[in-house]
Copies of this chain bind each other. A is one copy, B any other.
Amino acid sequence: MKEKIRMGMIGGGKDAFIGAVHRIAANMDGLIELCCGALSVNPETALESGKMLFLPENRTYLNYEEMIKKESEFPENERIHFITIVTPNFAHFAPAMMALEHGFNVVIEKPMTLTLEEAKLLQQKVEETGLTLCLTHTYSGYPMVKQAKEMVKDGALGKIRKIIVEYPQGWLSTLSEREGNAQAAWRTDPKKSGKSGCIGDIGTHAAHLAEYISGLRITQICADLNIVVEGRTIDDDGNILLKFDNGANGVLIASQIAAGEENALNIRIYGEKGGLEWFQHEPNTLLVKWLNKPTEIYRAGGGYLGDFAKHNTRTPGGHPEGLLEAFANIYRNFALTLAAKLNNEEPTPQMLDFPSVYDGVRGMALIENAVASNESDKKWHDFIV
């Protein structure tokens, strides 16, 4: 890389949660420079946030339209290379579309849009423009998740037979959206969050993880979505039976009312020859289970790991890397891809290993299909994209 990749941010003002995480992820490896932002719809917050982030005044914008227009007029060697969108779900599509139309690559939080239709429009625009859209399915950025993917691909487990993926959280066990929790408020409001609460917010992560590691695609589902906490208008819990395109069966469990759970995403994949288990709270460990041999503890940083795991680790074994590094892996791969393209080079498979607009479309399809299946009396619902 000849210069740092330049980034702008939409949303993510002070007090926002995920914007700060994106900035840490972008900062970490010193490859990306935050150059401008439309950080809040509240002008005061936007300005204050710009100061806190040491942004120049002329690149601290009050709305995204202004930012996209002005930035596209900067000379090439100052102009940002990409825009990160970290607003609530309902405010993803418009800025993403406008960014693409003005030639900016895009990083966007999941779920990608409010509706499947919007997602498909973004896909179309990405295909038209040749620009790159990166979706931050954070958990696929962990090195041991990549190791799992590589082992499945290499056939270490044989044909995959069963996948259990769970994402239990407890933070919505009470009606915290009415107690001043801003994160809870928009996530439980269908107008801002979309058709689904729990499945949209975390079920999409779980489904992506299952498909990402296994390389399989969900073909049928049987969904039981629940509103557990009285007074809520959108699912806060769901259990989904799955069928995959190779005939494997599966279960996806997502819940925001699993009292006492933090962010206990976990996955188990079983094949003919062995199984894999990964748990997000201890992300540097991957259990590899065998039919007639001791279970092995694969550890991030191990010399025996594959190329993808190694490429996505910064320190030797025993130096725990966490969620922020997983997030930074996505940003780093995205930045390396942009840099390669800028140099007219072919990005390597390792560089290209970040979730894309196609993953975003599948996530939106999960939401649509899960809601439809939940409303149906029929057991199996075809997963339609």
Binding site for B on A (CB under 8 A): 1, 3-4, 17, 20-21, 23-24, 27-30, 34, 53-54, 157, 161-162, 164, 166, 168-171, 173-174, 222, 224, 226, 228, 237, 239, 241, 249-251, 253, 255, 257-264, 268, 270-275, 280-284, 288-299, 301-304, 314-325, 376-380
Contacts and interface: CB of A to CB of B under 8 A. Distances in A.
Total copies of the chain: 4
Nearest to A159: B228
24 contacts: A1-B54, A17-B316, A21-B315, A24-B30, A161-B228, A161-B237, A161-B257, A162-B257, A239-B251, A258-B275, A260-B289, A260-B291, A262-B299, A294-B296, A294-B298, A294-B299, A296-B296, A314-B324, A319-B324, A321-B323, A322-B322, A377-B378, A378-B378, A378-B379
Contacts of A315: 21, 323-324
Nearest to A317: B262
Nearest to A376: B379
B4 A280 contact: no
A299 B295 contact: yes
A364 B174 CA distance: 38
Contact of A322 (B261, B297, B325): B325
A276 to B, nearest CB: 9
Nearest to A26: B30
A30 B23 contact: yes
B261 A320 contact: no
B280 A259 contact: no
Contacts of A29: 24, 27
Contacts of A270: 168, 170, 255, 257-261
Given A239-B251, A262-B317, A319-B263, A28 B324 contact: yes
Given A259-B157, A271-B259, A322-B320, A295 B297 contact: yes
Contacts of A282: 282, 320
A97 B169 CA distance: 48
Contact of A173 (B272, B293, B299, B380): B272
Contacts of A378: 377-379
Closest 10 CB pairs of A and B: A260-B289, A263-B318, A262-B318, A320-B322, A322-B322, A294-B296, A260-B275, A262-B317, A295-B297, A319-B323
A322 B168 CA distance: 22
Contacts of A283: 320
A113 to B, nearest CB: 24
A16 to B, nearest CB: 13
Nearest to A288: B294
A384 B293 CA distance: 42
Contacts of A318: 169, 261-264, 280-281
B317 A319 contact: no
Nearest to A21: B315
A354 to B, nearest CB: 19
Contact of A379 (B222, B299, B303): B222
B21 A314 contact: yes
A29 to B, nearest CB: 7
A259 B152 CA distance: 14
A171 to B, nearest CB: 8
A215 to B, nearest CB: 18
